[in-house]
Structure formats: structure tokens, C-alpha cells
Structure 1
């Protein structure tokens, strides 16, 4: 090997190592290969790990045999041409049976996992309809009479049964730490069921390219303990979006703007005259951790920015620009943030 070839080989190796290690970063929202948070995630991770271990073993055996053959039978300066032969029945039988056995070890748990991933029974489970819109999620609890948006709330330790749908294009419902993906398809209902183990907030997102703001179609799973769940359900059922007489003046002004303006054509706020079903339900909006389908924290600054420039805040957003003044936007933000 010439010096130039050696340098090229070292350069290629260095670049390859750099690319390999550049993928080694701290876990992100899509990372799932750590502690599973649901029974479903444990099944998926167990299956994935088993296939990876088998693949690694096959790689080691095949590459080891290849390396041994290259070194053992390399041609030397005075090496004569070895005897040539064609065909080996024993070898052909071996390399036919070995892959079949390996595939059997993969296929059996895979098929079992596929069947286990679909709900066998929904008795006693919390029922949720997850409905994909461009570009946000609607969550309905039909047995509880509750509707919310972009944050699916449920208790730890209790079965959750989700029916996944779409009103426009194909979306993908995915919360990585909970395992599994299900497409949200117009005119079709897909199902998903799991039992979360630990209270907390978990990140999810749309996993199907669905248009301009696909990357901004995010969601949160808010898992509560039993007391927190009961309190949330009661809060949602008792919600009243009409401000009290003692409410701050900016909150009252915001309510007046919302209840008499264009907001009534798209949104619902329980306890008010807003009953439209076009945009997200804003009942208890102030309790949500994010806005814009999970892309901004739910605080005054981001909410005012959203109200004044919806398209600038989220590309493709279907909320019109209402040409609000700074004062009106601040008042509406104060009212919406008071819905707790």
C-alpha cells in the first residue's frame, strides 16, 4: 500500500469514527431505549433488543469468518494457486438452515408482539379519542364528557384505550417512551392501549409527514397520580369560563373580546357562549404547559406573540390574524391564562 493510499484510508477511518460518535448524544424526545414507561413499551423494547442482539451475533460470526478467511488464505509472494473446486452440499445445507433458524427466532416473538400490541379487552379502561388535525391534536373523553387539546391526561396504573382518528390527512400518533405508533387515517379508526407506570410529562409528536407544520405537531402526555387525576376530571367538568365579578379588569376585557369577536367561530370554552368545534377546545387553557401544539411554553409573552401573529408563530397555522392591538392581545392572554 502506498503512502497516499494509507493516508486516504486513515482519513476515511477518521471521518467514519467522527460520524459514528456524533450520534452519541444525550437522549432526546424521540429516545426510547431506556426504562420503558408502559407495558406496551416494555414489549416493544424487549422485541427490539432481542433482534439487535441476534443481528450483532450474526455480524460478529459472519465478519469474523470473513476476516479469518482473508488472513488465512491471503496470497504470499511464493504462494501457488490452491486447488480449485466448485460446490459443497454440506455448506449449502448449512447456509440454508442457519438463516431459517435465525428468522424463526425473530419471527415468533415478532408475531406474538404484533398481536399483543392491539387491545384484547377494553373493560375498565379509560376511553379516549385522539383526533389529528392540521396541525394539532384533539383529545375527547366520551365517558367523562371532557374535551381538551394537545395534552392527553390520564392516571398512572390504569388502563388507557385510545381510538386514533384524523379529520383531514394521515397523521401519526406517537409517544416514544410509551411504545408503539399508530397512524391517524381519515375514515378509519386505529386503536392503542397501555398502562403508564409513573406520573410525569412525556413528549410525543406526529410521525407522518402531514404538511407544512408537521414538525410542529407535537403533544404531551400528562400522567397523574390517582388524586391528581380525580382533581383534573373534577376541574374539567366544573369549568366555567365566565369571569367572576371580582376578576381583574384585564381578564374581564379579554373575556369580552373573546366572547364577542371572531373566537366564537372556532373555539369552545365551557361555561361561555363559545361552542364551535373548528379549533382547539380552550377549556382550562391556563392549566396547559404549552401552546401551539407543544411548540411554545404557555406563558404571557408567547401567548401574546401567538395572538398577534399566528402564522409567524407557526407556519401553515389556520388561525387568522385578527389585527389585535398590543393592549387587546394582552387582555385576551390574561383571560385565557386565567382559565384554571
Structure 2
């Protein structure tokens, strides 16, 4: 029994220590943007208040235990009773009110700041205002840039040091959008559009997650947020606008893969970054910049091997995805050709 308790204590201690570990691209405790910093400040403030209350109550508790413990020879002595003391009642009523005010004022202030998306709700958007329609699907993410008419998936590209306004909606069932190091979570519902904004202070890649259980691949419904310097961001937007899906593959193998893609994949996928694709080609991720991405299916490293594994058996990598069973079995030669074509879909050099 003692050994079991020692094991439980060790595991609990390790969990506590590991719970404090994190990296800047996915930790709420290492905020990388204005929204995340406001939420972090509220977390610290509320924690300090809670620790203060627990400390004060604990000190009073142990003081009373020691001060008024029963002593030998004083078994029948009754300490001075303080019930009905106006002074004590005022103290323990006023102090909690003050603590609540200390917490409430910044909470309400930050809530209004975080909810302020007025810049994205103007009839005519300013040219520098970045507004992205985020659509959550089983089990992937689509990002449509309203001002620039650019569409991509699985990777949200944003400029550094600037608020990016998001219109969040679920295409099928309820999901939730969360980038821990940049902002708090927000539900994506089929029946309404939720709005929020995020901001990254410095260039880098940040991890995003679905945080509302949505099916067998809920834990695999991940995405990346790539923050680029302003010049790089504008160059990326310009390159995506030029990507109309009519580019010709460079190598013979990639050309063969393009032919296969046009026969079996184009019905669901598109390779046009400038949103020129038909509505029917929006039921699966836009592959316009597939060759530039860091991940395959949002979860595996971007390698030829993982692309081939995905093409051969999507179900084994992401159970319940809608690509499973949508096409016939591919030969190894066809898989190699498709991989070469997909790797050629780049907007950056």
C-alpha cells in the first residue's frame, strides 16, 4: 500500500512539474500577442488573489488552533466570545468586496477590448485591415481572406504586430478555435458566426487546436498560424493571388501526377489560391500552397513518405475524415506521381 501511495505521489509531482513546462509556440503561460497577454495578466492576477486569500485564511486558522487550544487546568475556561462584532463583520465583508473589485475592473475592461471587432464590421474595410473567415470542418480548417480574396487551409498566415480579425463558423458540427500562445478559445458553430481577433508580436509558427470534441479525429484537428513580417506577408498575399490553378508542373512525373489529380481529386480539392475555384471544390482543403506547408493533414511532418502514406490510407492517419473511400486504389507509381505534383504546388521560392 505504501509503495502505491509513493507511486501516486511521484506521478502527481511529475505532472505538476511538467504542467509548468511549455514552449512559446503553444503555451498560454508564454503569451506572444496582445490578446494572449491580457488573458495571461488576468490569470496571474486571479491566481495572486486566490493565493493571498488561502494564505490569510490558513494563517488565521492555525493562529486560532494554537491560541485557543485547550490547556491543562483550563478545561472549563471559555474564551471571550466575539460573535456579533461589528468590526469583524465589516472587515470580512469589505475585504472580499475590494478583492472582487480588483479582479472585476481589469476583467471587464479586457473583455470589452477582446470583444472589439468594430474595425472588421465596417461596410467598407480599410485596405490594411486583415479579416479572415475561418471555417471549421471535419477535420480541417479553411481560411478565406475577405479583403484580398485569398483562400488557403490548415495554415493561417498573418502579419506580425497587427490585429487579425476572425469570423468563426462551423461547416458541419460544433468545433472550437484555439491558438494558446496568441488568444483564448472561441467556439465555431454551424448556426452562428463568432468573432474575435488575434495578434502575434513576432514572426514564427504557432500551434492551433480544435478544443471542442467533434469526433474520432478531434485530437488530430490541428493547424498552424504563421506570423510573417509585413513585407513577407504582402509578398505571400500577392503570390497567392497569382496562383490560379493553371500553372503547369515542371517535371514529367509531376505532370503525370497533375493528370491524375485533374481526373480524381479536383472534384473536391482546388489548387487556386485566389478563390477562383467553384463552390463544389470547397468541400476539401485548398492545396494551392501545399508544397510550402510544414505538415501533412495538419498532424504529420511534411515529407514525401507521409504524403504517400496519406494518399494510400487516409483513415489510418486521421480516422473519420471525408477523404476516406472517395477514390479507387492508387498504384505505387500513381502515388509517387501525385506526391511529386503536390510537392510542386508552391507560392514561395
- TM-score of the superposition, structure 2-length normalised? 0.87
Q: CA shift at 1:81, angstroms?
A: 3.5
State the alpha-carbon separation in 2 of the partners of residues 98 and 329 from structure 1: 69
Indicate conservation of the 8 Å contact 1:259/1:274, yes or no.
Answer: no
Q: Answer yes or no: is 1:65 the counterpart of 2:60.
A: yes
Give the structure 2 partner of residue 280 of structure 1.
Answer: 285
| 1:208-247 map, 5 Å | 208-242=212-246, 244=248, 247=250
137-146 or 179-188, which moves further after superposition? Answer: 179-188
State the alpha-carbon separation in 2 of the partners of residues 239 and 265 from structure 1: 18
Q: CA shift at 1:86, angstroms?
A: 7.2
The 3-state SS of whatever aligns with 1:153 is: strand
| 1:251-270 map, 5 Å | 251-261=254-264, 263-270=265-272
Q: CA shift at 1:13, angstroms?
A: 8.5
State the alpha-carbon separation in 1 of the partners of residues 340 and 7 from structure 2: 55
- TM-score of the superposition, structure 1-length normalised? 0.89
Give the structure 1 partner of residue 174 of structure 2.
Answer: 170
Aligned length: 329
State the alpha-carbon separation in 2 of the partners of residues 271 and 57 from structure 1: 54
State the alpha-carbon separation in 2 of the partners of residues 160 and 244 from structure 1: 33
- Select the residue among 23, 39, 50 that pairs with 2:16: 23
Q: CA shift at 1:167, angstroms?
A: 1.0
Q: CA RMSD in A?
A: 2.5
| 1:4-83 map, 5 Å | 15-16=8-9, 19-25=12-18, 26-27=21-22, 30-34=26-30, 36-83=31-78
State the alpha-carbon separation in 2 of the partners of residues 93 and 221 from structure 1: 51
List runs of 5+ in structure 1 lacking aligned partners. 1-6
Q: Answer yes or no: is 1:309 the counterpart of 2:309.
A: no
Q: 1:287 to 1:41 in 2, by over 3 A?
A: same
The 3-state SS of whatever aligns with 1:33 is: coil
114-123 or 153-162, which moves further after superposition? Answer: 114-123
State the alpha-carbon separation in 2 of the partners of residues 21 and 251 from structure 1: 50
State the alpha-carbon separation in 2 of the partners of residues 120 and 238 from structure 1: 30
State the alpha-carbon separation in 2 of the partners of residues 234 and 138 from structure 1: 19
Q: CA shift at 1:313, angstroms?
A: 1.1
- Select the residue among 83, 86, 99 that pairs with 1:87: 83
The 3-state SS of whatever aligns with 2:46 is: helix
* Alpha-carbon displacement from aligned partner over 1:107-162 (angstroms, at most 9, x marks no partner): 12111111111125315421100111111110001211110001100111222111
Q: Answer yes or no: is 1:324 the counterpart of 2:330.
A: yes
State the alpha-carbon separation in 1 of the partners of residues 78 and 273 from structure 2: 91
Give the structure 2 partner of residue 334 of structure 1.
Answer: 340
List runs of 5+ in structure 2 lacking aligned partners. 120-125
Q: 1:106 to 1:12 in 2, by over 3 A?
A: farther
